[in-house]
Amino acid sequence: TEAPRPAPEPSAQSLPAMGRALLKLWLCELWVLLLDAGVDAKLLPHEEDVYFINEYVNLHNELRGNVFPQGSNLRFMTWDVALSRTARAWGKKCSHERNPYLGKPYMAHPKFNDIGENMWIGLENEFTASIAIRSWYKEKTRYHIENDSCSRDCSNYKQVVWNTSYKIGCAVTPCSRVGHITRAAVFICNYAPGGALSRRPYTPGVDCSQCNKYDRCTDYLCSNADRDEVIYYRFWYPRWEVPRPIVCDPLCLLTFFLRTLCFTVCVTAVLVIQSRFPNILLGEEMLFASEVVEVKPEKVEEKEEGIKGEKMKKEEEDKEKKEEEVEEEEEEEEEEEGEEEEEEEEEEEVEG
């Protein structure tokens, strides 16, 4: 009988195949873990998501139209993009505080100055617009419309059913932490015109009985086609938003176009001139060299004239010195002759 053959050792070629298999197995496990972790994950809606907008606008109108006691002068609400951008910008602060820019002109809206605000803060994976808005509306149990008083805070309810408000914009923002809540969602709704909340939010009575004469009754609310028109403020964003979205308005576009046009014209002109006059730079160099050559003889002549002038001055000075010396010698000789004559005269007088 033949001896049993030893088990073959893994070859060098089989090792890469085993590594690839282990890598695939590890990637599959990682994919399963990611899927399992993302089961409960939920992306928060963008402020301009149509379904999100319809959800909170329709719910507001439903609650306003079914107030008790009935309201005689509540207005129909429509969406406003500027209010939703303001809600998003402040939500990014991840703060409990009220937005301080709501009462400042053109800081929270390009048209309205007094803006109302409601805020909800909760767990991100539990957020829905319906839950947040109904929690505000539940504050009606604390409000007594007969004497316009609240047993506890009911400002959110009063803003939801404030009769003169007819524009609304909301946004939800994820925050890692707000107060004691981790992985929080900050849901803010802004209203225009905002409520002062210092009176009854509406006048009880028959539905739409106190609407303006140009209004019509829609879902038990006062609506007006001109007032309720949706205006999209394409280039408006809150100036205090950080980071600020990059927006180029018509003036910005015009400036960019003109600068591009000027640059293109300049480059084209340079290329055309260079193609038509290829030796223009060489000609400028030659002219410059000739000017240099012409300047040199002039400088030499000036130097020679200067040297000659200096020589002439020196010669004149020497002549003047010689003349002065000659005059001095002549004066000395005359003085000596005068002295001799005086001596002779004295001698003659003595002899006489």
Q: pLDDT tens for residues 264-276?
A: 999 998 888 878 8
Q: What is the pTM of this model?
A: 0.65
Residue 156 lies in a domain: yes
CB atoms within 10 A of CB 24: 10
Q: What is the tally of structural domains in the chain?
A: 1
Distance CA 72, CA 221 (A): 8
What CATH number did the domain enclosing 79 receive?
3.40.33.10
Residue 20 lies in a domain: no
Residue 208 lies in a domain: yes
Residue 124 lies in a domain: yes
Single-letter code of the amino acid located at 337: E
Residue 307 lies in a domain: no
Whose structure tokens read 């109904």? 134
How much is the average pLDDT of 226-252? Answer: 86
Q: pLDDT tens for residues 182-192?
A: 999 999 999 99
Domain span at residue 129?
50-245
Single-letter code of the amino acid located at 302: E
Phi, psi at residue 149, to the nearest 5°?
A: -135, 160
Cβ–Cβ under 8 Å, residues 169 and 232: no
Residue 178 lies in a domain: yes
Reply yes or no on whether the pLDDT at 156 is more than 80: yes
